[in-house]
């Protein structure tokens, strides 16, 4: 069955959790060991619903709107890697269900590895999807331009879907629909992104920080996943990362671009379960 279509009949419970440091909106389901999901920049927790639907029979799956995104708090500042990572640590402590498996895409990948490096006692392992050290400056320049262009007024959800389909040409229509229906708020004259433009600008700038020491420091098991056609993580960046940490397993997903978990959910699911079971 199509994963996104299957998800629509199994929506997760959504709620806000005050960690004492920040209030984070989460959606969760299932029972078992704790598995947390962290989205990419400008996105939100809903993009992980299809994966959660398939993993919730084994795990307590909780996807998080990270700071500045979705329905979580949006402070004026505090968008460096350590800020996001300390939110993760605070959430795990508040849930009191750790250590947790962290699954992160892009921004969420960087934040998850950083959290594991800073608080290894709270993390069981990390699935780091399509974000590594050594991303080229011109690639981050292009990302920043795309991020800042997304803050605009849209007439309705159909217009949002058309915009997202053009921006993410390889993401299937049902996954585009999840983004369109979950990532925008009604304002006068139409819809605007839930993600704070101030937060997105600071977050995009923060993605430029050198990640090599974090990868050197991390002691928990980390699976690196790259889309074979990714325009964010080049083959060269991945090769350098593997030279930095040759002990970390790598999965390259054929025909997938940067948005691996949305473009290739079945392979992503298999990679996660194989890694955990190993």
Q: Which of 106, 109, 182, 196 is catalytic?
A: 106
Q: Which of 130, 182, 196, 257 is catalytic?
A: 130
For the question of residue 130 being annotated catalytic, the response is yes
Q: How is the chain classified by DSSP, letter by letter?
A: --HHHHHHTSPPEEEEEE-SS-EEEEEEE--SSEEEEE--TT--GGGGHHHHHHHTTTSEEEEE--TTSTTS---SS--SHHHHHHHHHHHHHHHT--SEEEEEETHHHHHHHHHHHH-GGGEEEEEEES--TT--HHHHHHHHHHHHHT-S-BSSHHHHHHHHHHHSTTS-HHHHHHHHHHSEEEETTEEEESS-HHHHHHHHHHTTS--HHHHHH--S-EEEEEETT-SSS-HHHHHHHHHH-TTS-EEEETT--S-HHHHSHHHHHHHHHHHHH-
Q: Which of 39, 69, 105, 258 is catalytic?
A: 258
Q: Annotated active-site positions, please? A: 106, 130, 258
């Amino acid at each position: 069955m199509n994963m996104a279509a299957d998800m629509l009949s199994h929506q997760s419970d959504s709620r806000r959790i005050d960690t004492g440091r920040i209030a984070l909106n989460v959606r969760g389901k299932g029972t078992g060991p704790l598995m947390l999901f962290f989205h990419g920049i400008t996105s939100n927790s809903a993009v992980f619903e299809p994966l959660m639907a398939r993993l919730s029979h084994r795990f307590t799956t909780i996807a998080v709107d990270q700071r500045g995104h979705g329905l979580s708090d949006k402070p004026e500042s505090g968008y460096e890697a350590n800020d996001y990572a300390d939110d993760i640590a605070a959430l795990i402590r508040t849930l009191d269900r750790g250590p947790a498996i962290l699954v992160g895409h892009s921004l969420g990948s960087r934040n998850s590895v950083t959290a594991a490096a800073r608080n290894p006692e709270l993390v069981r392992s990390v699935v780091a999807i399509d974000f590594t050290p050594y991303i080229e400056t011109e690639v981050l320049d292009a990302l920043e331009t795309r991020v800042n262009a997304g803050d605009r007024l849209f007439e309705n959800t159909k217009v949002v879907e058309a915009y997202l389909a053009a921006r993410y040409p390889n993401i299937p229509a049902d996954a585009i629909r999840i983004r369109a229906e979950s990532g925008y708020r009604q304002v006068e004259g139409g819809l605007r992104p839930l993600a704070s433009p101030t937060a997105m600008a600071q977050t995009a700038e923060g993605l430029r920080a050198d990640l090599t020491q974090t990868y050197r420091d991390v002691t928990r098991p980390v699976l690196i996943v790259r889309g074979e056609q990714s325009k964010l993580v080049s083959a060269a960046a991945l090769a350098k990362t593997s030279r930095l940490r040759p002990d970390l397993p790598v999965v390259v997903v054929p025909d997938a671009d940067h948005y691996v978990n949305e473009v290739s959910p079945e392979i992503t699911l298999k990679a996660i379960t194989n890694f955990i079971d190993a």
